[in-house]
Structure 1
């Protein structure tokens, strides 16, 4: 059975003035060495500076779910949730295509 990367796309509405704190929380995740974590991206929308989309990639669904179900991730989520106006809108799924633009 072929293993494919797995992840989530989340829509976040950040409280005014909390953008830097959100970025600090996400940067802290990067240095933890979470098993299976591959990449993380945060987009700020041009149409609304308080609306963000976060993309998180894991090596497979099993490592994604193990992280999502861990008490450590719940604690990180609670810290992030405190910076948001409302609960994130989550869209989890298997990554079926990806590419890298070659350097020119």
Structure 2
């Protein structure tokens, strides 16, 4: 699997809107999209960590280069205080129990 980790700061009082927008903009699984995890830092709950996973690097790159993805990114910036930090990742291991939506919420 392949994907990216994003770190950013969400504008005050925009967290719920941001989560809804991300839910609405999630790519279709047919393009290789596996899922997104959204987390908030304990020390500053407006600091966001987002993990995006695709089935492989090719799927990720195709999505990243799609015009719709650029539109989604620009929409996402409306909720953020600045440009996010991106770390592209080749996922090679998963250790632990399976995850489900809302786990830990």
Same fold by TM-score greater than 0.5: yes
2:28 to 4, 28, 33: 33
2:84 to 85, 88, 100: 88
Runs of at least 5 residues in structure 2 that lack an aligned partner in the other structure:
99-105
Cα deviation code 1:32-60 (max 9, x no counterpart): 51511001000011100110100000000
SS at match of 1:76: helix
Cα deviation code 1:45-99 (max 9, x no counterpart): 1100110100000000011011111110110110101110010100002101113
Q: How many residues align?
A: 97
Larger radius of gyration: 1
Runs of at least 5 residues in structure 1 that lack an aligned partner in the other structure:
none
Q: Which runs of 4+ in 1 moved over 6 A?
A: none
SS at match of 1:8: strand
TM-score (normalizing by structure 2): 0.86
Partner of 1:71: 67
Once superposed, what is the RMSD of the aligned Cα atoms?
1.3
